[in-house]
Amino acid sequence: MQIQDLKIALVGPLPPPSGGMANQTRQLATLLKQEGVNVELVPVNAPYRPRFVGHIKGLRAVFRLLPYLFHLWHAAGRVDLFHIMANSGWSWHLFAAPAVWTAKLRGKTVSGIQARLGNNVRVELRLVDSIPPEVSGKYRYVVSHVPLQSGLDSALQESPPTI
């Protein structure tokens, strides 16, 4: 496939407001288009329609999420690849996770996950009731069940690496 034939759904925030990830999403779209890539922007922060809904807590979430999910589903039918600009917390759960699930349901590659790992790796997403904190108190959003090479885990337990 030539780069000019590639169709990418770029999912992420767009200005306004101008912030780090919104600026990165816009800049990536511009650079990809300059290279001849067909980019469809799927903003996670599209303006509320009608505008007054933006002032009503609870209702505004529905008026943002439903059009977003609709746009995701239809974009997945038109593109080859999803590139998701995501951060953690609620943003991940409300916007990135549905984009990953939609892409998987529609048989599309999700860059940064499947594309980086290759087709020999199975990416599996599971919804769980809770995520227990690590000993440090932090939460893990990704849990890898890849076993260490034979003997490597016991060698690390016997002599932990020094820094």
**Which tops the pLDDT comparison, 140 or 95?**
95
Domains of the chain, first to last: 3-128 (3.40.50)
Rounded to an integer, what distance in angstroms lies between the CA atom of residue 42 and that of residue 99? 10
**Which tops the pLDDT comparison, 133 or 10?**
10
How confident is the model at residue 153, as a pLDDT? 54
CA geometry: angle 20, 24, 25, nearest 5 deg: 120
Residue 145 clears pLDDT 70, i.e. is over it: no
Residue 162 clears pLDDT 90, i.e. is over it: no
Handedness of CA 57, 86, 66, 23 (dihedral sign): positive
Helix (H, G, I), strand (E, B) or coil at 91: helix
Rounded to an integer, what distance in angstroms lies between the CA atom of residue 98 and that of residue 6? 22
The average confidence (pLDDT) of the chain is: 81
Q: Which residues lie below 8 Å from residue 98, measured CB to CB, with a gap of 6+?
A: 68, 69, 72
Helix (H, G, I), strand (E, B) or coil at 110: strand
Q: pLDDT of 56-114, one tens digit each?
A: 998 998 999 999 999 999 999 999 888 888 776 777 778 888 998 898 899 887 776 55
How confident is the model at residue 55, as a pLDDT? 93
Q: pLDDT of 23-41, one tens digit each?
A: 999 999 999 899 888 999 9
How confident is the model at residue 146, as a pLDDT? 65
Helix (H, G, I), strand (E, B) or coil at 123: coil
